[in-house]
Structure 1
């Protein structure tokens, strides 16, 4: 089992990053928001889960222990594979997953590509009582908020969406709409990307 990986970022795509550790390059699947935060040539530490199958050994990487914990719970649910589990974490923060399970919010999970109502209900049933409900991270007391996402932040999110297969004519307006919906908050790349993905739906679903 490879439980963690520390090394230099050699290469990244919209959903993967290659980390060199002890002279070996490891390709790790990550969420789009996480990929954007990993800068080339920087040293990073990822918490990882290794999925072993006959045809491939696949690594999935996470920034937080809570993300890894929820991923490992999700892949025990019938009908939820590693790709879908990572998709859940691309759309929802760990705290939001816990809230959705607690509130039995089926729609929160069906917003993820590949997860239908039956699977969403099974996720809620399977995870009930297994993950702690914690307050979602927010702006620190006294810290000023911004009225809208910065231009640089929007460019990063559009770049991530292009890498996921969305056309720029879809991505750019959706990012603007998501930024308006988050007006008054202080969104980072992950928050703005998640909000935009909820508006867009799966790539290719819009003409």
Structure 2
């Protein structure tokens, strides 16, 4: 998979750009917000994902790896393809998607073109354990702590725990770890907590 792309911007459209990489112009589809930040002739670096279909290879580019990860995750829901996933990121930021899914906010999700009420309910149902946790949502925690906490939570969810289990484990180990522990140490502590 092509995970990132860097080079000179040759062309910018409303929802796409052409970036020169090693003498080759690569077409990258993106959100209007990302496209608006690109300038012809300037250097650009995008987090990317390659969508392989029977009849095409399509590259999608994003400002951040968080946007790319959200794009990939929402496509795990049946009926959601790259176009709807890209439309979702054009309307909502990754944090807003996570908040809407975590809170079951169907109204926010139906603002996305192509997503009706039933589709929004399916998104909430299928994604709640995958992206329902909002990084940094712990009120009053220092920003460094929010950073390691979200990384550990994400790692635990990736290992198969639910967002709720991961949140509880991280909350329980936080007082003993201090403000800015190593993420690996925090993950080990959270896994020990979950093993009890």
Structure 2: distance between partners of 1:72 and 1:28: 15
Asked if residue 40 in structure 1 is aligned to residue 44 in structure 2, the reply is: no
Q: Could you say which residue in structure 2 is the equivalent of 1:80?
A: 80
Query: Matches of residues 3-152 of structure 1 in structure 2 within 5 Å?
Result: 3-131=3-131, 132-135=133-136
Tell me by how many angstroms 1:27 deviates: 0.5
Q: How far does the alpha carbon of each residue in 1:4-34 deviate from its partner, in whole angstroms, 9 at most, with x for none?
A: 1111100011000000000111110110111
Tell me by how many angstroms 1:63 deviates: 0.9
Q: Does structure 2 conserve the Cα–Cα contact (< 8 Å) formed by 1:95 and 1:135?
A: no
Q: How far does the alpha carbon of each residue in 1:125-177 deviate from its partner, in whole angstroms, 9 at most, with x for none?
A: 111121230359xxxxxxxxxxxxxxxxxxxxxxxxxxxxxxxxxxxxxxxxx
Larger Rg: 2
Structure 2: distance between partners of 1:102 and 1:56: 34
Q: Aligned residue pairs: how many?
A: 136
Structure 1: distance between partners of 2:37 and 2:79: 30
Tell me by how many angstroms 1:65 deviates: 1.3
Structure 2: distance between partners of 1:49 and 1:9: 18
Structure 1: distance between partners of 2:90 and 2:66: 14
List gaps (5 residues or longer) in structure 1: 137-207
Bigger RCO of structures 1 and 2 (CA < 8 A, at least 6 apart): 1
Query: Secondary structure of 1:130's match?
Result: helix
TM-score (norm: length of structure 2): 0.67
List gaps (5 residues or longer) in structure 2: 138-196
Query: Secondary structure of 2:96's match?
Result: helix
CA RMSD in angstroms comes to: 1.2
After TM superposition, where is structure 1 displaced by more than 2 Å over at least 4 residues in a row?
A: none
TM-score (norm: length of structure 1): 0.64
Structure 1: distance between partners of 2:78 and 2:17: 28
Query: Secondary structure of 2:130's match?
Result: coil
Query: Secondary structure of 1:88's match?
Result: helix
